[in-house]
Amino acid sequence: MQNEIAVLSMRFATVCFILYVILVLAPLLAKKSEKTAPRPKQPGEGFAAGTISEVSGLMSAVATLTEALAKAGPALWSLIGSLLFLLIAGMAAGVFAPAS
């Protein structure tokens, strides 16, 4: 069972990495690049007023991380997926198991 999980995870990691390469190279190979206008902010979007002061630092950090990941696009997500599948494959294959 561990062998099948490792093989399947390696296949998913390969697919994710190929998708990453395609998504990174596609804009470079395109003849025309379109510039899109930034999406206008919708009413009510963002944090609610009156948050707890102790949690505000954490919430602003989470908001910054979320914005950065949202701007990153699918190329970064496919690279993250590839790394996660490689991690799953390594755990299934026993790479991270303590030496006996």
Supply the pTM of this predicted model.
Answer: 0.46
Query: 7-11, 39-43, 62-66, 94-98: which range is least confident on average?
Result: 39-43
Please state the rounded mean pLDDT for residues 8-14: 85
What is the pLDDT of the chain when averaged over all its residues? 75
**pLDDT score recorded for residue 49:** 47
Instruction: Kindly list the domain boundaries of the chain, sorted by start residue.
Output: 1-27+56-94
Pick from 27, 25, 17, 22: nearest CA to 78: 17
Q: What is the DSSP string of 7-69?
A: HHHHHHHHHHHHHHHHHHHHHHH-SS-PPPPPPPPPTT-SPPSS--HHHHHHHHHHHHHHHHH
Q: 34: phi > 0 → left, psi -120 to 50 → alpha, else beta; which?
A: beta
Task: Report the amino acid identity of residue 1.
Answer: M
Cα 2–Cα 4–Cα 7 angle in degrees, nearest 5: 110
